[in-house]
Amino acid sequence: MALRDGLQRSTPESQGVDSAAISRLLDYFAEKELEIHSIMLLRNGKVIAEGWWDPYSADRPHMLFSLSKSFTSTAIGFAVQEGLLTVDDKVCDFFPDQLPEKVGPNLAAMRVRHLLSMSTGHEEDTTGRVTSAPDGDWVKAFLSLDVEREPGTYFVYNTAATYMLAAILHKLTGQTLIDYLTPRLFEPLGIEGATWETCPRGINTGGYGLNIKTADIAKFGQLYLQRGMWEGKQLLSPEWIEEATRKHIDNGDDPNNDWNQGYGYQFWRCRHNVYRGDGAFGQFCIVASEKDLVVAITSGANDMQGVMNGIWDIILPALSPAALPENEAEQKRLQARLAELALPILPGEKLEKAAKFAGRYVFPANDLGLSSITLQFGSDACEGNLELPYGKTPVTFGYGYNAEGVFPAPQGITPAYSSATWEDDNTLVLLSRLVETPFAYTMTLKFAPGKVDLEVKANCGFGQSELPSLEGKLE
């Protein structure tokens, strides 16, 4: 059957996959404490297993982080196909008005292919220096930086290089990446509701910032597995697919590390002759062409290698070239497990005298930007109001259930599900899962007369997962 995402469904066995192996993968994720938010497995172009860990759901987009890069590469592929540019075009030629007074030989030699393959010649990632440009001109900031090595000779993962691809496309077409891709990729694949962050000059960020649903990731991977063919129409040339996903530069020599298998055009080479697009904290589009397998995953996992190891060690060995006998008992067991997937919520212990802790607690200046938190306690929920630089945000935390609402985050007010529990007579724990992102925040509040100590812990992040504690005063 086909659901509204346009993908066909099938039993695992009919596509040569043992249902028990997929169950073992779920066991593996749980045993390794990997926080997976969603997974879709496609074999022979059909969905054989799919699941979302509640409160994540199929109808919500998910923040992709650097998996966005593979979509930017795809946009360049379309532009090459349409004759707008070639991968041998020089980067400087696109931006004559934003070049530094003196253009060094390495910058002058930098070509589009070097942006695509993360081989610009920079010795360090330039992204922080580029995105902090005071005037918001990220292109000018990128071009102003020293290029220490000859382009094409040295790999450095450089998100600003991907931004430059977005800027080139914007310059050539007058369109953002998302507008350019909509009729060429998103509409043919039935991808709806995609959003993409922009820089201060209105150019899509390219290397991050795309938000789409899990099924959209799966369809993107399937398009690549089908060498650019979709529903009988050749959207993107097979020559580009081949070029984009092959190794263009070495990036390490550890045979067991999937970040050391070579880099293509914004795609990583993997072990087992597989390739992938990926994003921070476990956003994956994995394509195993030889096995006719696509895996789409969203997660909030710090151990991304661990997530991939589950696919390599459990799923790949379970793939048969021919159909297997149907195993109805195992299929029903798997479907039941997939339907019941859920992330933990707080147990919901209540405190009869919680009202004595109600009020507004004010915090000194801090890295979180949290000015105050106001708390009220009802029979089935704790009502919080968090004050940050961009305003006050009310958040409901359900006792023993996920209360649907929002949560203030660095990327803005975002949909969230939140729960609460009392650990003891003085300790309140609040948990919010930001369901369109990888992030969840646990806030532990220890009350004393007239004050509260607040500790915040994130499930994943680029810095410390446990942030410095704050002391708030009851106003």
Long-range contacts of 2-8 (CB under 8 A, 24+ apart): 5/58, 5/190, 5/213, 5/215, 5/216, 5/219, 6/189, 6/190, 6/219, 7/42, 7/46, 7/47, 7/215, 7/218, 7/219, 7/222, 8/45, 8/46, 8/47
Q: So what's the pLDDT on residue 1?
A: 38
Query: Taking the mean position of all CA atoms in its chain, how far away is CA 456?
Result: 22
Q: What is the mean pLDDT of residues 118-140?
A: 98
Q: Give 314's DSSP letter.
A: I
Task: For the chain, give the mean pLDDT.
Answer: 96
How confident is residue 3, by pLDDT bands cut at 50, 70 and 90?
A: low
Q: So what's the pLDDT on residue 410?
A: 76
Any residues with CB less than 8 A from the CB of 462 and at least 6 apart, and which?
280
- pLDDT tens, 425-453? 999 999 999 999 999 999 999 999 999 99
Which of 314, 343, 438 lies closest to 52, judged by CA? 343
Q: How many CB atoms are closer than 10 A to CB 139? A: 26
β-partners of residue 297 are: 39, 284
And the tokens for 327?
Answer: 């195993």
How confident is residue 229, by pLDDT bands cut at 50, 70 and 90?
A: very high
Q: Give 83's DSSP letter.
A: T
Which of 51, 70, 41 lies closest to 291, judged by CA? 41
- What is the DSSP annotation of 393-447? EEEEEEESS-EEEEEEETTEEEEEEEEEEEEETTEEEEEEEETTSS-EEEEEEEE
Upper half-sphere CA count for residue 392 (Cβ side, 13 Å): 10
Q: So what's the pLDDT on residue 467?
A: 73
Domains of the chain in start order, with CATH, are 8-60+213-339 (3.40.710.10), 354-474 (2.40.128.20)
Which of 103, 438, 87 lies closest to 278, judged by CA? 438
Q: How far is CA 33 from CA 40, 64, 431, in A?
A: 19, 21, 17
Which residue shows structure tokens 């994130």?
Answer: 458
The percent of residues above 90 in pLDDT, for the chain, comes to 95
β-partners of residue 434 are: 416
Q: So what's the pLDDT on residue 463?
A: 75
- pLDDT tens, 37-85? 999 999 999 999 999 999 999 999 999 999 999 999 999 999 999 999 9
Weakest mean pLDDT among 130-144, 336-350, 409-423, 424-438: 409-423
6 neighbors 219 (Cβ within 8 angstroms):
yes
408 neighbors 386 (Cβ within 8 angstroms):
yes
Q: Give 182's DSSP letter.
A: I
Q: What is the mean pLDDT of residues 202-219?
A: 98
CA distance 62 to 69: 15
- At residue 265, does pLDDT exceed 50? yes
And the tokens for 292?
Answer: 């006719």
Q: So what's the pLDDT on residue 465?
A: 63
- Do β-strands 195-196 and 359-362 pair in parallel, antiparallel, or remain unpaired? unpaired
Q: So what's the pLDDT on residue 187?
A: 98
pTM for the model stands at 0.97
- At residue 289, does pLDDT exceed 50? yes
How confident is residue 2, by pLDDT bands cut at 50, 70 and 90?
A: very low
CA distance 75 to 78: 5
- pLDDT tens, 363-405? 999 988 999 999 999 999 999 999 998 789 999 999 999 999 9
CA distance 467 to 174: 42
How confident is residue 464, by pLDDT bands cut at 50, 70 and 90?
A: low
